[in-house]
Amino acid sequence: MKKIILPLLLLMTNLFIFAEKEPFILKGKQLWEKRHSPEKALEAMKIFHQAAYESQEKDYESLCLFAYSSNFYAKFFEKDKDQKEDFYLKASKASQKAISLNPNGMEAHLLLGISYAELAQLNKSLSYIEKAKEVFEWIEKKSPDYQNGFALMVLGRLYSKAPGWPISFGDDDLSLKYFEKAMAISKKLRFTYLYYAEALFDAGENQKALEILRTGIKLPVNEKELTEENYCLAKMKKLEKEILED
């Protein structure tokens, strides 16, 4: 049986372009620019929580900002498993509330899928991996090229790592097809190269996996996303070593 190992699912810093409706939202965004510091990321998340839940009128933007920051902090900085789960659950609830306000909101759906995927990884949960798949399939249907084919990348990862029939929906061939579609839409996401290479390695295509991986490693580093970039590059270097030693 395959072990459920889901991806780090990240949002780009330019995912949202929101109007500064209130001063504390502006302050939160200013802090978020320094989110590579755990203290600043946590402070920004708390401010976004205020905007989402303590203002008189909850709105789509503030709920998404809180969900985004909660997912991010849980993934990169929180060490305690129970606290991680709590942050992901709060992010999923905020995303669901945002969707109730804007049923076609792509940002909120993407954030919800990320929360579900992280909860699936954390708890080795088949129910959450199924929920994540459902959300990203919704995004695929609505706009497959959204955020450089992000949903297609995630679906490729989910199909690669989920157990196969009759336990779950895992399918190596379908996984590779999703990665090919994602790469056809955009070659800008470093994580696509990482997860595509990993799927190829799992399928025994070591040489192609190495080629894809090294191409991704050579992508320019986005200085505004150093936490995400450093995480991904470390994973890529580790995978490269595993492939060479295989």
Rounded to whole angstroms, the Cα distance separating 40 from 26 reads: 14
Neighbours of 226 (CB within 10 A): 12
Rounded to whole angstroms, the Cα distance separating 198 from 213 reads: 8
Hey, what domains does the chain have and what are their CATH numbers? 23-245 (1.25.40.10)
Long-range CB pairs of 35-42 (<8 Å, 24+ gap) are 35/69, 35/72, 35/227, 36/226, 36/227, 38/73, 38/76, 38/77, 41/69, 41/72, 41/73, 41/76, 41/77, 42/73, 42/77
**% of the chain residues with pLDDT over 70:** 89
The answer to whether 50 and 231 have CB atoms below 8 angstroms apart is no
pLDDT in tens, 206-221: 999 999 999 999 999 9
Q: In the prediction, which pLDDT does 53 show?
A: 87
pLDDT in tens, 37-89: 999 999 999 999 998 987 655 689 999 999 999 999 999 999 999 999 999 99
Rounded to whole angstroms, the Cα distance separating 64 from 158 reads: 23
Find the helix or strand (DSSP H, E) in which 157 lies.
helix 150-161
